[in-house]
Structure 1
Amino acid sequence: MGHGGDVIEELTTDHREVDRLFEQFAQAPSGSADRKSLLDALTIELVRHSVAEEQHLYPAVREHVQGGDALADKEIDDHARVEQRLKDLEGLEADDSDFDRLVAKVRTEVMAHVEDEERNLFVQLRESCHPYVLESLGNKVRDAKKTAPTRPHPAAPSTPPANKLLAPGVGLVDRARDYVTGRGQ
């Protein structure tokens, strides 16, 4: 969940973790319970990551990067599409006829989003922010992931201050549900 380093290192490490989970999913037999468990792990990672970016990264992009409003808005729109697909998947079992197709769509969208962030947004952010700011953002992102929701909530606010106020409470409820159901363990 928390890897260390500045915000770019932290989020890039998250990206590699998502890559690894998608690879494990692809290797699991179609329709297997392992695929559902791997999707749960992916969902938890993606939701925590997205919430932390929306709380801390994108406001910093708006503040420090020229044209940052448009960049942040595009990234938030990407998150909204993925989160809605994850919500659609939440009620499906691994042997459902739409399961693999929807996961493939999620993977395509996530990989495009990751590539855009790493090749464009992160480069611009590194050029426009002092290393101290990037380190501070890394700490904030790590802290946000600790209390972030673990399930998709497409109707939840995606910008501060509302997302910062609501996410910890929603996260607490999600983690309680996860504990009771054994999801993600």
Structure 2
Amino acid sequence: MYRLAAHTGLRQAPRSIANNTVRPALATPRFFQSVDIRTIMSSSSGVKVSDRIKHDHAELEQQYKNIIAAKDTDTQTRWQNQFIWELARHSIAEEIVVYPAFEKFVPNGKRMADKDRQEHQTVKNLLYEFQKMTPENAEFRPTLDKLWSNLSQHIKEEENDDLPALEQHIDADYSGQLATSFNTTKHFVPTQSHPSAPDKPPYETAAGLLTTPLDKLMDMFKKFPKEDMKA
């Protein structure tokens, strides 16, 4: 079985600063298609892990804005599903790949990782409530705004403090390996919020592998943004 943990198969990281950035395309749900591991593994080549995460952050912000700007409930529902799908996968991939790297390489990294996990738990709880709502629900917009308020503060701290600290203590090659591992992990984790699930590997990894098939089955019956809506 393919190992998802960030530290598995990755060499010890010397200290340096990475370069070379590429802006990957927005991921969209693809259900029960065969996964070419070589394609996934090469998809983040040359990209720092911090850039991969910042790309996700930017996509999440745009999806949040798209929900608010939607002119009808069908469009709102499509962007709601995309937002949930992306945030759930992003959060778990960070916990499996990035936060253990904080603990391993950054001074006081365990404190940093634990803080981020606590913030994730708040976001997961709100996302769990939001994913059960329809746009017609009176609490739809308040819950979304509260969710984004917590998430945007977490994003700010992560981009301004946590990720720069990590990049400072690893070299460009290892940062690229983490980016690849992060991107790969997103293909194998749940696509819905499960707040009661473990938030640390290996138990989070095992729980995710059990939960993911059911989440993806449910995704098959949901509406997502059409390609022309993403242009």
Under TM normalisation by the shorter chain, which class is it? Answer: over 0.9
Give unpaired runs (5+ residues) of structure 2. 1-26, 28-39, 226-231
Alignment pair present for 1:184 and 2:224: yes
Counting only pairs closer than 5 Å after superposition, residues 85-96 of structure 1 correspond to structure 2 as 85-96=126-137
| TM-score when normalising by structure 2 | 0.75
- Aligned counterpart in structure 1 of residue 138 of structure 2, from 90, 97, 117: 97
Identity level (%): 23
Deviation string, structure 1 residues 113-162 (Cα, Å, up to 9, x no partner) = 11111000011011111222211111110110011110110011100110
Question: Which residue number corresponds to residue 59 of structure 2?
Answer: 17
Whether 1:59 aligns to 2:105 is no
For 2:21, the equivalent position in structure 1 comes to none
Q: Secondary structure in 2 aligned to 1:94?
A: coil
Name the TM-score, length of structure 1 as normaliser.
0.93
AA aligned opposite 1:22: Y
Work out which of the two has the higher radius of gyration on C-alpha atoms and give 1 or 2: 2
Q: Which amino acid aligns with 1:166?
A: A
In 1, Cα distance between equivalents of 2:108 and 2:171: 18
Residue of structure 2 in register with 1:26 after alignment: 68
- Cα pair 2:103 2:110 within 8 Å, conserved: yes
Structure 1 segments, 4+ long, off by >6 Å, are none
Q: How many residues align?
A: 183
CA distance in 1, matches of 2:147, 2:74: 19
Per residue, is there more helix in 1 or in 2?
1
RMSD over aligned Cα atoms = 1.5
Q: How far 1:44 sits from its partner (Å)?
A: 0.6
User: Is the CA contact 1:18–1:45 (under 8 Å) kept in the aligned structure 2?
Assistant: yes
Q: Quick one: distance in 1 between partners of 2:212 and 2:180?
A: 18
Q: Partners in 2 of 1:144 and 1:168 — Cα distance?
A: 11
Aligned to 2:80: 39
State the match for 1:77 in structure 2: 118
AA aligned opposite 2:63: L
Measured in 2, the distance between the counterparts of 1:177 and 1:22 equals: 22
